[in-house]
Amino acid sequence: MNKSSVKTIDIVQKGLKRRYRVERRFRRLGLAAIAASLIFLMLLFVSILGNGYSAIWQTHMRLDVYFDPQVFKDVVVSSADYGRLVKGALRSVFPDVSGRGELRKLSAMVSSGAAFQLREMVMEDRGLIGRQSTLWVPADDDVDMFFKGRLGPESGRLTEDQLSWIDHLKERKMIRKQFNRAFFTAGDSREPELSGIRGALYGSFFTLLITLAISFPLGVGTAVYLQEFAPRNRWTDLIEVNINNLAAVPSIVFGLLGLALFLNVFGVPRSAPLAGGLVLTLMTLPTIVIAGRAALQAVPPSIREAALGVGASRMQTVLHHVLPLALPGMLTGTIIGMARALGESAPLLMIGMVAFIVDIPHGFQDPSTVLPVQIYLWADSPERAFVERTSAATMVLLAFLVIMNGLAVWLRRKFERRW
């Protein structure tokens, strides 16, 4: 007896070292994994930030425009040749430039948006005609890139002449970086310097509004019914399995379904937030149902018993006691589902939300795109200046996602209960 107990302790001692070694190794592996993921996350942020930070500025050039009455002769104000005014202003800065090719190079340094800017000014105030006015107009994207140091002189995008003109403008303080308002106020554009995320933001907003308005009540209702009222039988088991599987279906499949069902059968307009919202609803619904059921399940049965015990009906028990306690959990699930929907692009490609849309949408039926699709579109564009805008738009998207997830965490913390 004594002998065997001594033996036991010896065996334990012998194995102890190995046990601790395994434990240490496991801990080190865990730390390494965390470090690796942190590094990758850092890399992601650094690369996005590094690429995108410069998009807050846009290079502008100063033009002293003479609104030559000649230009407005015999035409309606709205269709006058404003490009000619821009060219005139440029030529007054560089009087020695001549020759058609040279002149074209010169005027190419200013964004085509400058002409629109002039037009708007005149439309607002006809009194400008015949007067001189000083204004800052966006530079063309290549000039912008060069000025921000994103494009070396050796790239060949700018000619020797153009480089010297930029130097000349710099000397005369006629070129500078300004806050890039267009990025936040404009819709998409072929010209990087004129493009903005406003259209995509509005599109995302309207789309998510539809998704939220449909999937939240539907999801909560489904969760409550399945969890609190439905009898446990083969049918409800089948439904449960299906909902869990739906949550794992690749999102593009929902896009195909949306195309076939909403667009082709119900005639929902293509490219519209309505269609996008419906498709994303399909995708978000299972997430909300699953989160909702988990939240309901977390409400202790003693609360239900208490309510039933004083004679509350099942409906009253759920509405007065169970649902309010489960709601924070449901909201958390909903926000996470919404965040996923906000970042989703694949299913929206299927229903035409990938179109090039300049106008800012103002309703659920207007053609529009969404933020992640906008990022995709820009990333696909050849212009160098779209690179920084792609990253900047990604930053905006990530900011929204971080805010939404932060909200979810905050909700969970705030309403977390220990029973």
Partner 1 sequence: MQITFVQPYPAIQQEDRVKYQPSNKGEHLTHSLPEPDEDKPGSGTVGKPFLDDPRITCRHVNVYYGVKHAILDVSLDIGRNEVIAMIGPSGCGKSTFIRCLNRMNDTIDGCRIEGEIKLDGTDIYAKNVDVVPLRAQIGMVFQKPNPFPKSIFDNVAYGPKIHGLAGNRAELEEIVETSLKKAGLWEEVKDRLNQSGTGLSGGQQQRLCIARTIAVGPEVILMDEPCSALDPIATAKIEELMGELRQQYSIVIVTHSMQQAARVSQRTAYFHMGDLIEVGLTPQVFTMPRHQLTQDYITGRFG
Q: Are strands 57-66 and 132-138 parallel, antiparallel or unpaired?
A: antiparallel
Question: HEC states along 194-229?
Answer: HCCCHHHHHHHHHHHHHHHHHHHHHHHHHHHHHHHH
Edge-to-edge strand ranges of the sheet holding 175-179: 132-138, 57-66, 175-179
| In the complex, least distance from residue 330 CB atom to partner 1, rounded to whole angstroms | 16
- Return the residue of 75, 92, 313, 406 that touches partner 1, per CB under 8 A: 313
Q: Sort 99 into a burial class: Cβ within 10 Å, 0-12 / 13-18 / 19+.
A: exposed
| In the complex, least distance from residue 388 CB atom to partner 1, rounded to whole angstroms | 51
> What are the two backbone dihedrals, phi and then psi, of residue 60, each rounded to the nearest 5 degrees?
-120, 155
SS3 254: helix
| In the complex, least distance from residue 60 CB atom to partner 1, rounded to whole angstroms | 59
- C-alpha span between 364 and 297 (Å, rounded): 36
Which residues from 287-306 bind partner 1, rule CB under 8 A?
Answer: 300, 302-306
Which residues from 212-241 bind partner 1, rule CB under 8 A?
Answer: 231-232
- 307 binds partner 1 per the rule CB under 8 A: yes
| In the complex, least distance from residue 301 CB atom to partner 1, rounded to whole angstroms | 9
As given in the structure block, the two tokens for residue 368 are 């529009």
Stretch that binds partner 1, among 55-63, 213-221, 307-315, 331-339 (CB under 8 A): 307-315
CA angle 107, 393, 343 (to 5 degrees): 145
| In the complex, least distance from residue 305 CB atom to partner 1, rounded to whole angstroms | 6
Q: Which is nearer to partner 1, 253 or 312 (CB)?
A: 312
- 311 binds partner 1 per the rule CB under 8 A: yes
- Return the residue of 217, 250, 309, 406 that touches partner 1, per CB under 8 A: 309
| In the complex, least distance from residue 236 CB atom to partner 1, rounded to whole angstroms | 11
Q: DSSP per residue over 121-184, as a string?
A: HHHH-GGGTTSEEEEEEEBPHHHHHHHTTSS-GGGSSS-HHHHHHHHHHHHTT-EEEEE-HHHH
- C-alpha span between 281 and 288 (Å, rounded): 10
Q: Which is nearer to partner 1, 270 or 417 (CB)?
A: 417
- C-alpha span between 141 and 51 (Å, rounded): 15
Q: Which is nearer to partner 1, 120 or 305 (CB)?
A: 305
| In the complex, least distance from residue 329 CB atom to partner 1, rounded to whole angstroms | 14
- Return the residue of 312, 327, 349, 398 that touches partner 1, per CB under 8 A: 312
- C-alpha span between 76 and 274 (Å, rounded): 39
CA angle 162, 167, 168 (to 5 degrees): 95
- 325 binds partner 1 per the rule CB under 8 A: yes
Stretch that binds partner 1, among 17-25, 144-152, 312-320, 363-371 (CB under 8 A): 312-320
- C-alpha span between 355 and 362 (Å, rounded): 16
Q: Which is nearer to partner 1, 100 or 418 (CB)?
A: 418
Q: In the stretch 379-418, what mask flags binding to partner 1 with x, by CB under 8 A?
A: --------------------------------------x-
| In the complex, least distance from residue 286 CB atom to partner 1, rounded to whole angstroms | 24
- Return the residue of 177, 321, 384, 412 that touches partner 1, per CB under 8 A: 321
| In the complex, least distance from residue 216 CB atom to partner 1, rounded to whole angstroms | 23
Q: Which is nearer to partner 1, 245 or 313 (CB)?
A: 313
- Judged by the rule CB under 8 A, the positions of this chain that interact with partner 1 are 231-232, 300, 302-313, 316, 320-321, 325, 417
